[in-house]
Amino acid sequence: MDNMRFNTIAGWTLFAFIALLGISIVTDEVFLPEKPEKQAYVVEGVVEEAAATDAAPAEAEKPIAFYLASASAEKGEAVFKKCGACHNADKGGANGIGPNLYGIVGSAHAERAGFAYSEALTAMKGKPWSWDELNAWLKSPKTYAAGTKMAFAGIAKPEDRAAVLVWLNSKSDKPLPLPAAPAEEAAAPPADAATAGNDAAAGNEAAAGNEAEAEPAAK
């Protein structure tokens, strides 16, 4: 009898081990395929983030005053290395392939003594080199003045344009004050309208320009 009972217990114990083994195999099979499913959710998250990053460059460029506010002259000096083959910005410096640029910010187009300008730039002679004009010129010289002999593709990043302009502005007997527009840009539209109303007609134009640029950014 005792022997029989032992056999019975041993048999059930063995069965239990086999059953446990079986369950662990089955659960492995059940749970393993779930892991990739969870990763698939993670990938969805990554895709969303990528979409958000893609949207950033599509934003409309802000007015140059916005970038000027945080531009560093030190960085600008580094950016000017792109210009150095043709220009210098030293006081009394000679013209090279391009004219000397000392005091260019706030001065006028095509008025450097002893430099033979292209017809394209000569046609703009005397027009002020404002921050906005210089920004447009440096973004794409060819677009700004078709037929210019400044063989330079332009600076794509508004931050780099702002930096080189702030540095050039320091190379002057009478540096211009930085434009005050960034506060308007950051403020709510009603504040913009109030400020523009106090300004001359030019102020209104600038405000209208800001609105036009803000619309595509909202999409």
Residues forming contacts to ligand HEC in the complex (CB under 6 A) are 82-83, 85-87, 97-99, 101, 104, 109-110, 112, 117-118, 120-121, 138, 148-152, 155, 164
Q: Residue 80: what residue type?
A: F
Residue closer to ligand HEC by CB (options 85, 186) is 85
CA triplet 31, 35, 39: central angle to 5 degrees? 160
CB of 182 to ligand HEC, least distance (A): 22
Side-chain-facing half-sphere of 83: CA atoms under 13 Å: 24
Smallest distance from ligand HEC to CB 61, Å: 17
CB-wise, 62 or 149, nearer to ligand HEC? Answer: 149
Beta-carbon neighbour count of residue 211 at 10 Å? 11
Name which of 139, 153, 142, 136 is nearest 209 in CA terms: 136
Asked if 88 contacts 94 with a C-beta cutoff of 8 angstroms, the reply is yes
Nearer to ligand HEC, 10 or 108 (CB): 108
Rounded least distance, CB 113 to ligand HEC, Å: 10
Task: State the DSSP string of 158-209.
Answer: HHHHHHHHHHHHHSSSSPPPPPSHHHHHHS-HHHHHHHHHHS-HHHHHHHHH
Q: From residue 70, how far is each of 55, 58, 63, 89, 96 by CA, in Å?
A: 23, 21, 13, 22, 31
Between residues 118 and 172, which has the closer beta carbon with respect to ligand HEC? 118
Nearer to ligand HEC, 19 or 78 (CB): 78
Output the smallest distance, CB 168 to ligand HEC, in A.
6
Secondary structure (3-state) at 128? strand
CB of 53 to ligand HEC, least distance (A): 28
Q: How far is the CB of 100 from ligand HEC (least distance, A)?
A: 8
Beta strands in the chain (DSSP E): none
Measured between alpha carbons, how far is 8 from 184 in angstroms, rounded to an integer?
90
Of 104 and 196, nearer to ligand HEC (C-beta) is 104
